[in-house]
Amino acid sequence: MGKNSKIEWTTHTFNPWWGCTKVSEACKHCYAETWAKRLGQKVWGPKKERRTMSDNHWKQPLKWNRDAGSTTDRPRVFCASMADVFEDRSELVEPRARLFELIEATPNLDWLLLTKRPQNVKTMAKWGQDWPTNVWLGTTVELQTRADELLPYLAEIPAKVRFISAEPLLGPLDLRQWLGSTIDWVITGGESGPKARPASPKWFRDIHAQCMEQSVAFHFKQWGDWGPGDGENLPAHRMKIAKDGTAMFRLGKKSAGRILDGTTHDGLPENRFFG
C-alpha cells in the first residue's frame, strides 16, 4: 500500500497493520483477506496475529506531508485498506496510538478513517470532543439494518467530515434522517470478485436522489462485477436477478465500469466545505 492509490477517492493508502476479523455481511468477500492470503499472510480471524509494519513504512506519510506542504493540494490518505483501525485487540493499542500521533504530525494530509466498528471510536480515539481537522471518519453501511445500528455512533463523533461507504451495497437505503446533519459524503459501489452479489441500479439511483435533495456529495465508485445492460450474447449463467427483481449481468468489473445514468459521479465533501 502506498503513494498514488488506485482508489478514485483517495490520493494515498496507509496501513498501520494488516489483518482483521469479519463483522458484517459486507465483510463476506473481503478483498483484503483474499489479497493477504495470496501474499501468504495469515492475518485474518480472531486467532491470528496481525502483521506489523516497519519504521520505514511509518515514515511514508511524513514525506507525503512534506511534499504537500509545498503545494496547495490536500492529499487524502485512506487508512486502512487492509485492516480496521478500530478493531478491538490488545496488540493494536500501541500501533493505534502511534497512528493518532502520526495524524497529528501530518496536518497537510486529510486522513480518511473508514471503519465497520464505529461503536469503538468514542473509547479508542484520544480526541474526545476536539478532533483534529484533518480527520474524516466514515463507516460502512451495506444494508438498512446496518445504517440504523451504526450511524448513531458516527453521529456522536465530532469529526470535520463524516461519511458513509455503501459498498458493497446489498440492499436499498433510506439515509434521509442522516444526510446533511450527520453525513457529508456518500460513497457507493457494487461488489466485485468471483462470488460478487449484484446490486440494483435502483438502489444507487435512490441514494443519489437523497444526496442531491440534501446537497450531500455523492460518489459512485463502480458497478463491480455485475452491471446493468441487455445481456445480449451473454450465456444464461451470467445473468442474475437482483433482490428487487432487476436483471443484472456479469460483465466483469472493468467492462461494467462506473457510469450511472449516463455520467460518472465523483462528488467530494471538500467541494462543499472548502469552496
Which residues in this chain contact ligand SF4 in the complex, by CB under 6 A? 20, 22-23, 27, 30, 32-33, 83-84, 116
CB–CB of 195/230 below 8 Å?
no
As measured in angstroms, the least distance from the Cβ of 128 to ligand SF4 is 25
CB–CB of 110/136 below 8 Å?
yes
Cell of 256: 461494467
**For residue 24, what is the DSSP state?**
S
CB–CB of 226/190 below 8 Å?
yes
As measured in angstroms, the least distance from the Cβ of 87 to ligand SF4 is 7
Q: Residues in the chain, how many?
A: 275
CB–CB of 179/211 below 8 Å?
yes
As measured in angstroms, the least distance from the Cβ of 169 to ligand SF4 is 14
Rg (CA), the chain: 19
**Residue whose CB is less far from ligand SF4, 142 or 251:** 142
As measured in angstroms, the least distance from the Cβ of 188 to ligand SF4 is 16
As measured in angstroms, the least distance from the Cβ of 64 to ligand SF4 is 22
**Residue whose CB is less far from ligand SF4, 30 or 247:** 30
**Residue whose CB is less far from ligand SF4, 143 or 247:** 143
**Residue whose CB is less far from ligand SF4, 191 or 216:** 191
Question: d(Cα 151, Cα 148) in Å, to the nearest integer?
Answer: 6
3-class SS of residue 216: coil
CB–CB of 19/197 below 8 Å?
no
**Residue whose CB is less far from ligand SF4, 84 or 191:** 84
